[in-house]
Amino acid sequence: MISAYPHLIDLNDYPVTWWNGLLAQAEDIMNRPFLYANSCSGKIMGTLFYEPSTRTQMSFQTAMLRLGGTIIGFDNPQTSSVAKGENLKDTTKIISGYSDVLVIRHPTVGAAKAAALTADCPVINAGDGGHLHPTQTLTDLLTLKAEKKTLSGLTIGLCGDLLNGRTVHSLCKAMSCYENNHFIMISTKELKMPSYIKDTIRAHGGTFEETDSLEEALPKLDVLYMTRIQRERFASPEEYEAQKDTYILTTQKMKLAKPDMIVMHPLPRVDEIEVAVDDDPRALYFKQAKYGMYIRMSLILTMLQSTIKTELLAGQVHKGIACKNPKCITNQEYYLPKSFTGTGTTLTCEYCDERLLLEH
Ligand code: NCD
């Protein structure tokens, strides 16, 4: 299914040259903001936040206001008709008709793609469950470019909830498209990186290793990307309790790191970085959040000017076959076409990227 609009569901739907263009434009916005102050004048951005958010939502809103546009939307679906049982399709259809660009965050994997299927304007994925978070990754790319002066040849440590953390999924997929990046995945065995992300890294020629020791990894790193344990994605409180507090970055541990290593975190922080680390000049996470506003300005502008059509579903619906991932949007919004890529016994859901192994 090809949509008449440009959508940003997964950064890897676009070529690296497109990402680099966004980054260059964001740098220009940072240097010459006055040139862009009215560039979205008369345009409206809708924000549908079905899940809590501080930085993503407000940086999107500020970005649009700084471009001269205006904003509508909700940050609590319980105050909208969602509370009366309205489905994603109907909400999207209506609000996309009021807006020039729509930003959506949803707790269910694949929700942004599902919304784009019916939207009458460009849709930007601001996080779909534990799946992807492309605009956080654009934020991270801008931070790396501005602070490390390169997006290649970096050893990047990813620490915490690598299973449920959508920011690290999108970051790995993106950074493996630049040359010679090496990932050190630091997690417990329960919270390891999903295999579809590791497959993508391999497919792009990137390399990775997995460890459970932050102390052992630290001296090797150019970048440490910390994440919180994603409490809301656990099946039970007991499973979360067993994982929380496993990794805590302290000023003591920072002594093991290179003098020019930078610490990034998408935030919010719970307790995985000791507050005293904030005073270390290598702690970049607050600055990182500000870069997020500039890259979102660049993104909104690009989406509003673009005439690109987006291929949302390229695969096929197979009679009687549904996605086995209970967290997939196709198992919540039943009207959606259950579309898969691949052939034979291995099919991949086009919404959640889960592989389905069929038995004959
Ligand atoms: C992240 C998210 O929502 O995925 N935060 C963000 O967008 N800056 C990370 C998180 O919630 O842990």
294-310, pLDDT tens digit by residue?
999 999 999 999 999 99
- State percent of the chain over pLDDT 70: 99
Task: Say which residues have a Cβ less than 8 Å from residue 285's Cβ, sequence separation at least 6.
Answer: 226, 263, 264, 265, 267, 269, 273
CA 127 to ligand 1 centroid distance, Å: 8
Nearest to 160 by CA among 229, 217, 234, 242: 229
Q: Does the annotation mark 56 as catalytic? A: yes
Query: Given pLDDT bands bounded at 50, 70 and 90, which one contains residue 345?
Result: confident
The DSSP bridge partners found for residue 223 are 156, 262
User: Is any atom of ligand 1 closer than 6 Å to the C-beta of 127?
Assistant: yes
Given a cut of 70, whether residue 255 has pLDDT beyond it is yes
If we measure between CA atoms, which residue out of 161, 138, 127, 124 comes closest to residue 289?
138
Secondary structure (3-state) at 210? strand
Query: Which pLDDT band holds residue 80 (cuts at 50, 70, 90)?
Result: confident
Ligand 1 pocket member 266 (CB < 6 A): yes
Mean pLDDT, range 39-51, rounded to an integer: 98
Cα R_g (the chain), whole angstroms: 20
DSSP per residue, 76-123: -GGGSGGGGT--HHHHHHHHHHH-SEEEEEESSBTHHHHHHHH-SS-E
User: Is the CB of residue 166 below 6 angstroms from any atom belonging to ligand 1?
Assistant: yes
Ligand 1 centre to CA of 181 (Å) is 23
Q: Is 228 a catalytic residue?
A: no
Q: Quick one: which of 175, 169, 73 has its CA closest to 127?
A: 169
Decide if 166 is catalytic. no
Taking CA atoms, 124 is separated from 9, 57, 215, 300, 302, in Å, by 6, 12, 37, 9, 12
In the 8-state DSSP scheme, what is residue 260?
A: T
Torsion of CA 283, 289, 292, 297, to 10 degrees: -130
Kindly report the pTM of this predicted structure: 0.96
**What pLDDT, on a 0 to 100 scale, did the predictor assign at position 359?**
63
> Which is the closest atom of ligand 1 to the Cα of 167?
4
> Contact at 8 Å (CB) between 162 and 153?
no
Look at residue 360 in the predicted model and tell me its pLDDT: 53
Q: For ligand 1, is residue 43 a contact (CB within 6 Å)?
A: no
